[in-house]
Amino acid sequence: MPQHRTHALAVALALLVALDARADGLSPTEEGAAMPVLEPAPRAEAEGELHDAGQIMLTVSAGDTLAGLLAVAGIAPADIAAATAALRPHLPPRALRPGQELALEADAADAARLVSLELGLDPLRRLRLERHDDGTFRGAIETLPAVRHMVRADGEIRASLYADLRAAGLSSAAILSLIRALSHTVDLQRDLRAGDRFTVLFERFRSPDGTLLKEGGALFLDLALSDRHVRIWRHTRADGTTDWFDARGQSLRRALLRTPLDGARITSGFGMRTHPILGFDRHHRGVDFAAPAGTPVFAAGDGTVTFASWRGDYGRTVMIRHAGGFDTLYAHLSAITVRPGARVRQGQVIGRVGSTGLATGPHLHFEVHRNRIAIDPRTIRRLPGQRLEGVELARFNAERARTEARLAALAERLELAAAD
């Protein structure tokens, strides 16, 4: 390139740089145009938000640790070590979750000196650390009160009771509690039909700012069947035990569950039948329930496990002895979760559905014996003497009246905070 063109280009570039510098309020130096210098932003502003003097808000990202965040905020290493040690019983070093907000307060006169720290653990709990007059740090978890809400849901049976209650907003646990209670008095396979209607009252727990924390249990159900209404209330006795009752205070609990698993259908009833594998007629001593492999199997009643092992054609089997001369048997299990001699409660999981032994597919074979003679499980009657009386009945009736008032108040609003 000719020398004069090279010189002209250099002059032009120098003028452009000088003009840019002047536009930025900078003065040329003796050696040429001064270049703008980028000053590093304060760390607190770069990594979080700086509020009032000494107040810093940081947002946790994946992989962050408490010590690392404190270092980013410019806290002195000695304070970082003391703070993390004080918080260790409440917050393991790598327990932070992305999105959590960490509020720090540093000394206004010494930005490296930590004064306090606050971290939200969940909508109801926050972790707080404070420096005391002696210079030590003390950490504690503060818990906010959960607000109990009552929720009303009205619906119609379209698919199944479980699916329709789920669609109405109930949790799986609340629905299973209702199904177990109803199974004592309603044949959910034969009595329940499309078009039947339900009204249910259940709980929700929210934080003071309205954030949903968890779904609670069901408190009341009105099930309108084609031939009758079934109305049941949940009630906790003075001794702490909880059960479901009808309007008279009569417990729905029977001596034994007729269906010791949820969501199953009967594939073979009690009595004579042609065996599906052996091919000849013989007496079927129990009832078969088809269900997916792994479905939990419940103890049909309170009792003691007398057998829990392999039993020939029955495969993995559990047997339980109950009061009143009753025994129950659960066969073809894929897994057993109890041992011989163990005491079990009605509804406790004792095993899981399988196809062990002589079985064509996953199902539960369930037998009930009375005085060592096999009987049809569907003939089991309600336990006598399980009716509330005296002071307990008065408590139940008072709670039932409150439930009726809540249902009326929720006729126009679907949810309200409970006053008690």
pTM above 0.75, yes or no: no
The class of domain 43-143 in CATH terms is alpha beta
- Give Cβ neighbours of residue 328 (< 8 Å, ≥ 6 apart): 256, 260, 299, 300, 301, 303, 319, 320, 322, 366, 367, 368, 369
pLDDT at residue 6 tops 50 = no
**Residue 277: CB atoms within 10 Å:** 8
368-384: average pLDDT: 79
- Please state the length of the chain: 420
Q: Convert 250-265 to b/e letters by CB count within 10 Å (16 or more is b).
A: ebbbbbbbbbbbbbbe
- Encode pLDDT of 62-112 as tens digits: 888 899 999 998 999 999 999 999 999 988 767 888 888 889 999 888 989
Would you state the pLDDT for residue 16? 41
CB-based contact 316:334 (threshold 8 Å)? yes
Task: Round to whole Å and give the CA distance between 83 and 78.
Answer: 9
pLDDT at residue 23 tops 90 = no
Task: Round to whole Å and give the CA distance between 237 and 132.
Answer: 47
pLDDT at residue 210 tops 50 = yes
pLDDT at residue 5 tops 50 = no
- Encode pLDDT of 165-207 as tens digits: 999 989 988 998 898 888 778 877 778 889 999 999 999 988 8
- Encode pLDDT of 246-264 as tens digits: 999 998 877 788 788 876 7
112-134: average pLDDT: 89
What is the Rg, in whole angstroms, of the alpha carbon atoms belonging to the chain?
35
- Encode pLDDT of 138-173 as tens digits: 999 988 788 899 999 999 999 888 889 999 989 988
Q: Convert 303-334 to b/e letters by CB count within 10 Å (16 or more is b).
A: bebeebeebeebbbbbbbebeeebbbbbbbbb
* Burial class of 65 by CB neighbour count within 10 A (0 to 12, 13 to 18, 19+): middle
Task: Round to whole Å and give the CA distance between 233 and 4.
Answer: 101
pLDDT at residue 367 tops 60 = yes
Task: Round to whole Å and give the CA distance between 157 and 153.
Answer: 13
pLDDT at residue 30 tops 60 = no
CATH of the domain spanning 147-253+412-417: 3.10.450.350
Q: In one letter, which amino acid is 402?
A: R
35-48: average pLDDT: 37
Q: Which CATH number fits domain 265-379: 2.40.110.10, 3.10.20.30, 2.30.30.30, 2.70.70.10?
A: 2.70.70.10
Task: Round to whole Å and give the CA distance between 192 and 157.
Answer: 8
